[in-house]
């Protein structure tokens, strides 16, 4: 799921798809001699798209490595499709975007990625150990993060005030009241990228967390089955929200990115809220071509459900990272350590508007962006975090949750059918 962010963009240049098909090859034999490092990432907007290239150029100038780079910048959904094709062929890029979790585990089990546990001695201490968990499989490290955060509601405080809403809602009932108040003021309450599916799964996931508690969801992941009333009840509440028609006109065909997408809609002030990760403010600016809501943009955690076992200190979240292909040349580890030097981590944060994963944040970010600071504040009080389900669970299961959530919102599935659909896929994966 990027989740966007920095996660989601369109192809950076014409002909990229052709280039991608031709460059899925990895390093030659791992020796590093006369090798090409293929690198796929999802930052397709400057400055970060160019910053990755600058890192590669700088490292090549400073090192004596006999390698070249083939860097491809790919829109999020296209990247997922391209990676799936590459994985099926058994040849993945040498360095590629990952969100960790169940998808990475499958790549590990298929011998598509390198164990990097003992390969980053020169820089691993520069990365906050707590951010490595999604990239760790059976106590071995297979990826490194460059961004970390949580999902919550980004809201336009000016539009809330216009609708007479004095404070962010703390309960689900309060949230529904806020939706009604915004509609009464002729303000679209929520922007949603219905066509991309993954943004909608945040709603169902959070409702399941707030009703049954995060532990209940984690137990479902371990059991490989959605069992219990909480998962049906989450669907019921989401269906009730959808029946209120809170989303922007045409949300069914809207993507996250683009001039008419979810991000731009909030950035232009045409909707009051979006449920999204730490990349949302930058995406709003990039896609709307404006400064977005600016200082009027606030952040609040997903509300509690009255009588539920969950808490607002339990978050859905994750970040962006890189994994190393199984046949990548050994020089790639020196390059990774180059990227994670503190001065380069500073450039990542500034150019990508990322939330730092540095072991010493103060050495990397003297003064965080005002919106990143809101995410950091939320994370400081977090008691637990759940990785996005379309990454935490096996790919087919995560994909079915995304698809089922779309069906639920469009009225094509009942809450019970949602659970049945996901469990059928999970059973087939066993």
- Report the alpha-carbon distance of residue 214 to residue 392 in Å, rounded: 13
What is residue 48's predicted lDDT score, i.e. its pLDDT?
A: 95
**Do 292 and 345 reside in the same domain of the chain?**
no
**Do 214 and 195 reside in the same domain of the chain?**
yes
**Do 172 and 196 reside in the same domain of the chain?**
yes
Do residues 47 and 8 lie in contact, with contact meaning Cβ atoms separated by under 8 Å? no
For 208, the token pair is: 């399941």
**Do 303 and 329 reside in the same domain of the chain?**
no
6 within some domain = no
What contacts 316, CB < 8 A, 6 or more positions away? 150, 151, 202, 205, 206, 209, 302, 385, 386, 387, 388
Q: Coil, strand or helix: which one is 345?
A: helix
Cβ neighbours around 240 below 10 Å, total: 11
- Report the alpha-carbon distance of residue 415 to residue 193 in Å, rounded: 21
**Do 163 and 293 reside in the same domain of the chain?**
yes
**Do 334 and 203 reside in the same domain of the chain?**
no
Kindly list the distances between the CA atom of residue 412 and the CA atoms of 252, 256, 287, 406, 419, in Å, as whole numbers in the listed order: 13, 22, 30, 8, 13
2 within some domain = no
Tell me the DSSP string of 101-115: HHHHHHHHHTT-B--
Strands, DSSP E only, in 231-341? Answer: 273-276, 297-300, 314-324
**Do 171 and 104 reside in the same domain of the chain?**
no
- Report the alpha-carbon distance of residue 238 to residue 218 in Å, rounded: 20
**Do 119 and 206 reside in the same domain of the chain?**
no
9 within some domain = no
Do residues 127 and 144 lie in contact, with contact meaning Cβ atoms separated by under 8 Å? yes
What is residue 26's predicted lDDT score, i.e. its pLDDT?
A: 39
What is residue 16's predicted lDDT score, i.e. its pLDDT?
A: 34
7 within some domain = no
What is residue 34's predicted lDDT score, i.e. its pLDDT?
A: 60
Q: What are the φ/ψ torsions at residue 41 (nearest 5 degrees)? A: -135, 175
**Do 312 and 372 reside in the same domain of the chain?**
no
- Report the alpha-carbon distance of residue 77 to residue 258 in Å, rounded: 13
Q: Coil, strand or helix: which one is 247?
A: strand
Give the helix/strand (H/E) hosting 143.
strand 143-150
Q: Which pairs with CB-CB distance under 8 Å and at least 24 residues apart come from 13-20?
A: 13/73, 16/72, 16/73, 16/74, 17/78, 19/72, 20/72, 20/74, 20/82
Domain count, the chain: 2
**Do 37 and 112 reside in the same domain of the chain?**
yes
Find the CATH number of the domain harbouring 44. Answer: 3.40.190.10
Kindly list the distances between the CA atom of residue 269 and the CA atoms of 176, 199, 252, in Å, as whole numbers in the listed order: 20, 19, 19
pLDDT in tens, the chain (430 residues): 334 333 222 223 323 332 333 333 333 444 334 689 999 999 998 999 999 999 999 999 999 889 999 999 999 889 999 999 999 999 999 999 999 998 999 999 999 999 999 999 999 999 999 899 999 999 999 999 999 999 999 999 999 999 999 999 999 999 999 999 999 999 999 999 999 999 999 999 999 999 999 999 999 999 999 999 999 999 999 999 999 999 999 999 999 998 899 999 999 999 999 999 999 999 999 999 999 999 999 999 999 999 999 999 999 999 899 999 999 999 999 999 999 999 999 999 999 989 899 999 989 988 888 999 999 899 989 999 999 999 999 989 999 999 999 999 999 999 999 999 999 999 998 7
């Amino acid at each position: 799921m990027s989740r966007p962010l920095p996660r989601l963009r369109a192809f950076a240049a014409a002909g990229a798809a052709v280039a991608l098909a031709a460059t899925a090859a990895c390093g030659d034999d791992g020796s590093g001699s006369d090798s090409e490092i293929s690198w796929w990432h999802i930052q397709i907007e400057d400055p970060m798209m160019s910053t990755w290239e600058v890192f590669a150029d700088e490292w090549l100038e400073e090192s004596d490595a006999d390698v070249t780079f083939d860097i491809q910048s790919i829109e999020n959904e296209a990247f997922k499709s391209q990676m799936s094709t590459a994985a099926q062929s058994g040849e993945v890029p040498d360095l590629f975007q990952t969100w960790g979790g169940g998808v990475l585990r499958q790549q590990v089990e298929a011998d598509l990625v390198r164990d990097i546990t003992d390969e980053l001695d020169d820089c691993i201490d520069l990365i906050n150990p707590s951010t490595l968990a999604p990239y760790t499989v059976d106590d071995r490290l297979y990826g490194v993060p460059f961004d970390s955060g949580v999902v919550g509601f980004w809201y336009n405080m000016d539009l809330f005030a216009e609708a007479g809403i004095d404070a962010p809602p703390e309960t689900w009932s309060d949230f529904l009241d806020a939706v009604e108040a915004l509609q009464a003021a002729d303000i679209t309450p929520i922007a949603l990228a219905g066509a991309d599916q993954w943004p909608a799964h945040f709603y169902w996931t959070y409702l399941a967390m707030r009703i049954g508690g995060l532990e209940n969801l984690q137990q479902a992941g371990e059991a490989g089955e959605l069992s219990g009333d909480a998962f049906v009840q989450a669907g019921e509440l989401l269906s009730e929200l959808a029946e209120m028609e809170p989303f922007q006109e045409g949300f069914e065909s809207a993507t996250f990115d683009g001039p008419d997408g979810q991000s731009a809609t909030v950035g232009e002030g045409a909707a009051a809220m979006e449920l999204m990760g730490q990349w949302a403010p930058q995406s709003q600016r990039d896609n709307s071509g404006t400064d977005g809501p600016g200082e009027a943009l606030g952040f609040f955690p997903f509300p509690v459900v009255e009588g539920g076992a969950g808490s607002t200190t339990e978050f859905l979240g994750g970040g962006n990272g890189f994994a190393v292909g199984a046949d990548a040349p050994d020089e790639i580890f020196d390059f990774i350590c180059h990227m994670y030097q503190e001065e380069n981590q500073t450039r990542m944060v500034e150019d990508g508007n990322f939330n730092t994963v540095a072991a010493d944040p103060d050495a990397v970010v003297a003064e965080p962006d005002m919106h990143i600071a809101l995410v950091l504040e939320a994370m400081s009080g977090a008691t637990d975090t759940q990785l996005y389900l379309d990454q935490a669970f096996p790919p087919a299961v995560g994909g079915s949750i995304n698809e089922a959530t779309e069906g639920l919102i469009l009225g094509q599935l009942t809450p019970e059918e949602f659970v049945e659909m996901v469990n059928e896929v999970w059973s087939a994966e066993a």
